[in-house]
Every structure is written in C-alpha cells, then in structure tokens.
Amino acid sequence: MSHPENATEFLKDQAKAKWHDETLWFVRDKRDRISKTIPEWEQLRELASQIKDNVLANLGSYLEDFERNALQNGIIIHWAADAEEHNQHVLRILREKNCKAIVKSKSILTEECHLNPYLEKEGIEVVDTDLGERIVQFLNQPPSHIVLPAIHLKKGEISELFHQKLHTEKGNEDPTYLTQAARIHLREKFLGAKVAITGVNFGIAETGEFVVCTNEGNADMGVHLADVHIACMGIEKILPRRKDLAVFLRLLARSATGQPITNYNSHFRSPSPGKEIHIILVDNGRTAQLSREKFKNSLKCIRCGACMNTCPIYRRSGGFSYGSTVPGPIGSILSPGLDMKKHSTLPFASTLCGSCSDVCPVKINIHEQLYEWRQEITKTHGEFGKGLSMKLASGIFKSPLAYKISGSLMRSALKALPDSLIYHPLNTWGKSRNLPDTPNETFQQWYKKNRS
Amino acid sequence: MLKINLLPMKTNSPHVALFIPCYVDQFYPKVGIASLELLEKLGCKVSYPAGQTCCGQPLANAGYERDTVGATRHFIELFKDFDYVVAPSGSCVLHVKDHSPSISGLEKEQEELHHKIFELTEFITDILKVEKLRGSFPHRVGYHASCHGQRGLRLASSSELNQTLFNKAQKLLENLDGLEWVELSRTDECCGFGGTFAVTEEALSIRMGKDRLEDHVLHQTEIITGGDMSCIMHLEGIATRNGQKMKFMHVAEILNQAIS
C-alpha cells in the first residue's frame, strides 16, 4: 500500500493517533530541552557534520585502516556486498560453531538484511533482547521506529501480549512488573546462547575498535556470556579517530531520547582469551548511494531517530506507514535509493517543513533531499494524470493570457456551481475543508482600476 | 546577509515591485491590496508589474521543477529591473530563491533577483529597518509560522535550534497598541498544507490542520495570522467547515489596518 493509504488507515483510530503524536512529541520536547543546556550545541552539530563529510570523502581508506587495525587486534573481518552475503556470513559462522540459538541486541542493519527470517528458515532460534524489539518480535512485527521499536503499542497491549507469551497476570499493566517478567525470560536466553549478535554505532579507523550504545545493557549481557560475538556494521559507521566519539556520543543520546548519554557505551577492541569477535562490513546499496551526489550525505546518519520524533507526518502516521526498514524522513531519502519504485510515495509523505533538517545532529539536509527525490521519481514513475495536469499548469504559468483566462474560468465556475458539485467526493480539497469565498475581482483587476 | 551594494538606490525611495502569488491574486486580492497600501504608507514607491502568473512552486514541489523553465524565465524578465521585489508570501519567495531552475542567458539577472527578493515582513524589518510600527490592533492574535518562511527564509528562530529567539513578524505586531500575542504549545509545527500534499495526503493534511487549530483554541486565539495565505486558506477551510469561530488575517492586513 502507498503511504497515503497507510496513513489514512492509521488515522482512523483518532484517539490512538493522537496518543502516538503526543508520545513522540514528548520525546522531541525532551530533546529540545536538553540540547538547549549545551551552549555549543550548534557547533557540535557542525563539527559532527564535517567529520562525517570527511569520512564519506575518504571512506575507502578509512575502511582499510579499520580492517587492518581490527585484524591486528585479533578480530575476524568479513565483507558483504549485499544483504544475502551478510546473512550467509552469519549462517556460516553459526554452523561452524554448531550453534542453534542466538541472542541479538538491536541492530537496524540486521532488520535491513532480514536476518531473522533467514536464520529461522535454517532452524536457528533468534531472540531479540532489547525489550522493545522482543515485544515486536513476539508480535511478528518489524520495529516501527529505529530507537523506540515498540512505540506504536500502548501499555495495555503489551500487558496482554506478555500475558499470552510469558504468562504474566492478566490486566497487570505495571511497567516494573512487566519489565521484570521480560528480564527473567531473557535471562534464560542469554545463558543458553553461544553466539551473540550486535549492531555497531561507531567503528574507529585509527584503533580498529567499535562502540555499541544501549540503554538496557543487553548487548553487553549477550556478548559477555557468549563465546562468539558477531558485530554487523554498515560501512558508513566509520569515525576516523577515537576522540571523535567525544562529539558523537554527546549528540547521539541527546538527539535520540533527550538523555545526556546512553547508559552503556561499550568499546570492543579485541576478543577475550578463547573467544572470537567477527565484524561483518556491509555495503547493501551504500556505495551506490555514495555515488549519488545529491543524496550521498544521507549516509551521515547516526540512526538517532530525532527526525522521526519531530516529523509531523511520522507522528501521525506511524512507522509502519512507510513500509521500509528505516521509516520517517531519513528513511524516505534512503529507501528510494534501494528500490525507487517500491518507495516512490515516500518522498511525497512530507510538507517539506524542514523540521527534520534542523533537528538532525549531523545536519543532513533531509527535506531538500526529499525535494530532489521527487524530481527523480517523477522522471521514471510519475503517475500519468499528475504529469499531465502539471504539464498543463506549466503552460498556463508561462503565459499571462492563459493564466488570466484559466483563473477567471476557475473563479466563475466556483461562483456558479452548486456546493454539491464543488464539494463532490472527487474533490479532495473539499472533503473536509471549505474553499475560500470567491472575490468579485482579482488583485490584477483591482490594481488596473485603482492604480493605473 | 544582503548584498545591498549590488542595489544602488535610485532615489530616496527605492522602486519596489510587488509580487502577488497566483492564489492571492485569484482568491485573496485584499491581501495584495493591504501589502501595496502598507508599503506605500512606509514610504516606498511600489509598482505591480502587469502580466504576473505563478512562480512555479506547485509544480516544482510536486517533482516537476524541470517544467517551470518557462514560468521562471517569465518571472525574471518581469522583475529584473526593479530595486526590490516584495511578496506577501514566504513560501513563494523561498521557491524563487532556492528551487527555480537556472535560466540560460539570464544568469546574472537571476542571481541579482535572488538577492533582491524579500518576503514582506523581512523587507520591512531588514531593508526598511523599521524598528517599531505605531498603531492599534486590540485583539488576541495567534501567529502561524509558515514552514517555508520560518525554516526556509529564517523569518523566525526555529524551535529545533539552539539559537537566540527572534520572529520578524512578531517584532512588527507586538508593538501595536492593544495587541495580545498568543503563546502556543507548539510554536512552529506545520499546519499540513504543503501544496499538493494537501490533496495527495488528505487525511494527514486535515489532521495536522485540526491539531494546529486546537492549539489556537486552547490558548484563546481570536485572530490567526501568518505570512502565507496558503497555510491560512487551509486552516480557515477546516475551521469554517467545523463551525469554529476564529478569524483569519494575513499579517499585511493587520499591519495595514492598524497603522491607518
């Protein structure tokens, strides 16, 4: 379904849509307040943006540095051109270790690669250990938000779900009680897994280490109990130097949730004796995006989700309305690069209000890229009708006479036609909105009479 | 931000061309009249060049910027000889500056145009350097910041940024005698108009508009004003459909009425 259809569906439950909007606005507001306690906030954004520009301009050599240093640290490196190759690497490692059950901490990249269904088909149990991720996994849903995966669900729905899956008391909606039940359930899974998978927030070229940021400590719990740690990393996650983290860690959690910092910022540099660390470096469309001059800086994204929280469209249509792994404004500029046809309505799911660009901690010009994607999409996937009416309009606007004739025809039609016709269901403007009263004369006519 | 030195003033009062966006021309001539009278009261020599059509924004935002070459060429030719071009619309001015295609043979004129075209309130505060307008407007006024004016032309500070607060329209309005400025819960959330978005994403557009109106109702706004009639048309359309009683005026109408 297209974004407008999904959004219309989402808005049918008005009370829930309002709650969704207000919940995410609360997060955006928290982000506003904490960012304003940092006097140098705007300089930090600028610095982060410049560091990422540098990374993208020199990505190849930074990746080579990263690989070399990581190998020296005893980490095993794999390269994956696409999702399929990524999944094959994971499966091969699991088979080598004779592993039938794994724990995974939140990784949008593994969602992007559809790793869970791939492994499950091979008879491997995958348990997402981030609380929100576990909740959506129970429901066989993808995350609806990259930082807050279960933000579309209310307490009562989670209580009911846990009652079915974890046999908690029916109707008990106490968050502490429900979280405790999840802890006990997950503890068992942690203890049983020989391999743990995590994502990567930052890979440091100069040291070959990587950093994973979580609030629940689930990544650390999984990794420390397992013999093998597989870290899945998009190739754009590189930072040149360890000291660059001082910029990015200050921005990430403040932008994401309004916290000063994520609770756990774990650095992984080399495996403990007798254990293994693997890093899978994944392209999956990233170098293609890098080659698109107008869109390449979308790869600066650090996946904080601030553009989702601020987006008036996302807040009122929900993450699923986008039908892409990364929803919201940033998803709408990343996804068309992966499959333009499938995601052709996404760049239009915006009023180009620009809030996403102003909130972005790495200053991606998101709304301008939405505009640019529209120009690309209409070249190949323009609906015929839309293209035709736009062509007519372009003819009208370059000729003053044509404009005058069509304008006066329109105004007299609006005056003469009965309301029932003007507000015909086919007239989308008039479905829930009145048209302005039609004045007797245009400004052009008034000016001619009064000033010339 | 301005290259004033590019634009030597020919007399004491610069020659200002009034650019009236197509939908204002067709549906809101009163806003055009108010803009004209206001600029004249402020001492400007104002002309309205005949033959104006549309800047091309609706096409460009729908993904057809390439079809606006004709409209853009016509626009540049019409306005190139004036000292300034002023419009009662942030959105259309932003389009001319940022999204009109480059026109071969008119590169110099186009570049100059981008530095001498202004939205009405920024022209009054930044070029005419009006610090304070004297007048009276005893009403509770709620301001709707159009996104293109606010985040595009930076006519007001943006709530996302850590910056000193400012708002060019507020600066002009708040000194009027009796005017009560309404503080909203969400100072700069989009109303959901968004050009073709208003029809292609109709359900969202309406929801967003209703939410903006609710914020104004909650804070007892009597008159909603703004610098872009497109947002106002959308909000007013929803309000009248639902029998909401507040009034809607363009900033130019308030200022022109207040100082007369």
Tell me, what amino acid is at B195? G
Q: Residue A168 CB: number of other CB atoms within 10 A?
A: 22
Give the three-state DSSP class for A169. Answer: coil
User: Would you say the C-alpha torsion B228, A18, B202, A326 has a positive or negative sign?
Assistant: positive
DSSP-derived pairing of the beta strands A195-198 and A76-80: unpaired
DSSP chain B: ---GGGS--SSSS-EEEE---HHHHHH-HHHHHHHHHHHHHTT-EEE--TT----SHHHIIIIIGGGGHHHHHHHHHHHTTSSEEEES-HHHHHIIIIISPP-TT-HHHHHHHHHHEEEHHHIIIIIS-------B--SEEEEE--HIIIIIS-SB--TTS-S---BHHHHHHTTSBTPEEPPPSSTT---S-TTTHHHHTHHHHHHHHHHHHHHHHHTT-SEEEES-HHHHHHHHHHHHHTT---EEEEHHHHHHHHT-
Q: Residue A79 CB: number of other CB atoms within 10 A?
A: 15
β-pair partners for A233: A281
Reported residue count of chain B is: 260
For residue B36, tell me if it sits in a domain.
Answer: yes
Tell me if A403 and B162 make a contact (CB, 8 A cut-off).
no
Q: Residue B247 CB: number of other CB atoms within 10 A?
A: 13
User: Which of residues B83, B102, B127 is at a domain's end?
Assistant: B127
Query: What local confidence, expressed as pLDDT, does residue A418 receive?
Result: 63
Query: What local confidence, expressed as pLDDT, does residue A403 receive?
Result: 73
- Whole-number Å distance between alpha carbons of A138 and B159: 38
Q: Which of B26, B147, B240 sits opposite A411 (nearest CB)?
A: B26
Contacts of A42 in chain B (CB under 8 A): 161-163
Tell me if B198 and A429 make a contact (CB, 8 A cut-off).
yes
Same structural domain, B217 and B150: yes
β-pair partners for B87: B119
Same structural domain, B90 and B195: no
Query: What local confidence, expressed as pLDDT, does residue A122 receive?
Result: 97
- Residue B59: closest C-alpha in chain A: A390
The tally of domains found in chain B comes to: 2
Interhelix angle A3-10/B202-218, nearest 10 degrees = 40
Q: Which of A36, A434, A438 sits opposite B162 (nearest CB)?
A: A36
Q: A384-395 as b/e, with b when 16 or more CB fall inside 10 Å?
A: eeebeebeebbe
Q: Which of B24, B74, B158 sits opposite A443 (nearest CB)?
A: B24
Size of interface A-B (CB pairs under 8 A): 210
* Shortest Cα–Cα distance, A386 to chain B (Å): 9
Please state whether A284 falls in left (phi above 0), alpha (psi between -120 and 50) or beta.
left
Query: What local confidence, expressed as pLDDT, does residue A423 receive?
Result: 64
* Shortest Cα–Cα distance, B31 to chain A (Å): 9
Same structural domain, B53 and B122: yes
Q: Which of A355, A428, A433 sits opposite B160 (nearest CB)?
A: A355
CA-closest candidate to residue B168, choices B77, B236, B231, B255: B255
- Whole-number Å distance between alpha carbons of B244 and A432: 13
Q: Which of A42, A399, A447 sits opposite B163 (nearest CB)?
A: A42
CATH number of the domain bearing residue B52: 1.20.1050
Contacts of residue B53, defined as CB under 8 A and 6 or more positions apart, other chains included, come to A396, A397, A398, A399, A400, A403, B22, B71, B74, B75
Contacts of A25 in chain B (CB under 8 A): 186
The CATH topology of domain A38-284 is: Rossmann fold (3.40.50)
pLDDT of residue B10 exceeding 50, the answer is no
DSSP-derived pairing of the beta strands A264-268 and A210-214: antiparallel
Which of B46, B147, B160 is the best mutation test for A, with the most CBs of A within 10 A?
B160
CATH top-level class of A1-36+298-382: mainly alpha
- Identify the domain containing residue B27 by its residue range: 4-127
* Tens-digit pLDDT profile for residues B17-35: 999 999 999 999 999 999 9
Tell me if B158 and A32 make a contact (CB, 8 A cut-off).
no
Which of B204, B230, B244, B253 is the best mutation test for A, with the most CBs of A within 10 A?
B204
- Whole-number Å distance between alpha carbons of B81 and A125: 72
CB distance A277 to A93 below 8 Å: no
Same structural domain, B104 and B166: no
Question: For residue A216, what are the CA distances in angstroms to A105, A221, A255, B10?
Answer: 10, 9, 18, 68
* Tens-digit pLDDT profile for residues A64-84: 999 999 999 999 999 999 999
User: Which of residues B85, B106, B127 is at a domain's end?
Assistant: B127
**B40 interfacial to chain A (CB closer than 8 Å):** no
DSSP B92-121: HHHIIIIISPP-TT-HHHHHHHHHHEEEHH
Same structural domain, B107 and B155: no
For residue B157, tell me if it sits in a domain.
Answer: yes
pLDDT of residue B64 exceeding 50, the answer is yes
Contacts of B99 in chain A (CB under 8 A): 371
β-pair partners for B223: B141, B247
For residue B44, tell me if it sits in a domain.
Answer: yes
Tell me if A4 and B50 make a contact (CB, 8 A cut-off).
no
Q: Which of A371, A400, A436 sits opposite B61 (nearest CB)?
A: A371
CA-closest candidate to residue A32, choices A361, A370, A363: A361
* Tens-digit pLDDT profile for residues B126-164: 999 998 899 999 999 999 999 999 999 999 999 999 999
Rounded to two decimals, the ipTM of the complex is 0.94
pLDDT band at B8 (very low <50, low <70, confident <90, very high): very low
Contacts of residue B171, defined as CB under 8 A and 6 or more positions apart, other chains included, come to B125
Same structural domain, B8 and B117: yes
**B66 interfacial to chain A (CB closer than 8 Å):** yes
Contacts of A375 in chain B (CB under 8 A): 63-66
Give the three-state DSSP class for A85. Answer: helix
Query: What local confidence, expressed as pLDDT, does residue A404 receive?
Result: 74
Task: Report domain extents, chain A.
Answer: 1-36+298-382, 38-284, 396-451
* Shortest Cα–Cα distance, A253 to chain B (Å): 16
DSSP-derived pairing of the beta strands B84-87 and B15-18: parallel
Tell me if B22 and A397 make a contact (CB, 8 A cut-off).
yes
- Residue A306: closest C-alpha in chain B: B160
Angle of CA points A406, A410, A411, to nearest 5°: 120
Query: What local confidence, expressed as pLDDT, does residue B7 receive?
Result: 38
DSSP A425: T
Backbone angles phi, psi at B164, to 5 degrees: -65, 135
Question: For residue B210, what are the CA distances in angstroms to B27, B182, B241, B242?
Answer: 22, 18, 11, 10
Same structural domain, B81 and B187: no
Query: What local confidence, expressed as pLDDT, does residue B6 receive?
Result: 35
* Shortest Cα–Cα distance, B122 to chain A (Å): 19
User: Which of residues B99, B127, B155 is at a domain's end?
Assistant: B127
For residue B32, tell me if it sits in a domain.
Answer: yes
Contacts of A316 in chain B (CB under 8 A): 204, 207-208, 211
CB distance B79 to B49 below 8 Å: yes
For residue B179, tell me if it sits in a domain.
Answer: yes
Q: Which of A35, A312, A434 sits opposite B241 (nearest CB)?
A: A434
Distance of CA B104 to the CA centre of its chain: 28
pLDDT along chain A (452 residues), means of 10: 93 97 98 98 98 98 98 98 98 97 94 97 96 96 96 96 97 96 95 96 98 95 96 98 98 98 97 97 98 97 98 98 96 95 94 98 98 93 58 68 72 66 69 90 95 82
pLDDT of residue B11 exceeding 60, the answer is no
CATH number of the domain bearing residue B215: 3.40.50
* Shortest Cα–Cα distance, A262 to chain B (Å): 21
For residue B134, tell me if it sits in a domain.
Answer: no
pLDDT band at B4 (very low <50, low <70, confident <90, very high): very low
Only one residue has tokens 């994502």, namely A199
Same structural domain, B70 and B11: yes
Which of A351, A414, A415 is the best mutation test for B, with the most CBs of B within 10 A?
A351
- Whole-number Å distance between alpha carbons of B75 and B92: 12
Q: Which of A371, A398, A410 sits opposite B74 (nearest CB)?
A: A398
Tell me if B161 and A42 make a contact (CB, 8 A cut-off).
yes
Contacts of B190 in chain A (CB under 8 A): 312, 351, 353, 355
For residue B133, tell me if it sits in a domain.
Answer: no
**B159 interfacial to chain A (CB closer than 8 Å):** yes
- Residue A408: closest C-alpha in chain B: B26
Query: What local confidence, expressed as pLDDT, does residue B12 receive?
Result: 67
- Residue B201: closest C-alpha in chain A: A4
The residues in B 93-152 lying below 8 A from A, measured between CB atoms, are 99, 147-148, 151-152
CA-closest candidate to residue A360, choices A236, A254, A287, A259: A254
Same structural domain, B116 and B146: no
Tell me if A439 and B28 make a contact (CB, 8 A cut-off).
yes
Tokens of A96: 């080598």
pLDDT band at B13 (very low <50, low <70, confident <90, very high): confident
- Whole-number Å distance between alpha carbons of A46 and A333: 21
DSSP A241: -
Tokens of B133: 């307008």
- Whole-number Å distance between alpha carbons of A301 and A330: 8
Same structural domain, B78 and B172: no
For residue B135, tell me if it sits in a domain.
Answer: no
Which of A384, A432, A452 is the best mutation test for B, with the most CBs of B within 10 A?
A432
Contacts of B32 in chain A (CB under 8 A): 443, 446-447
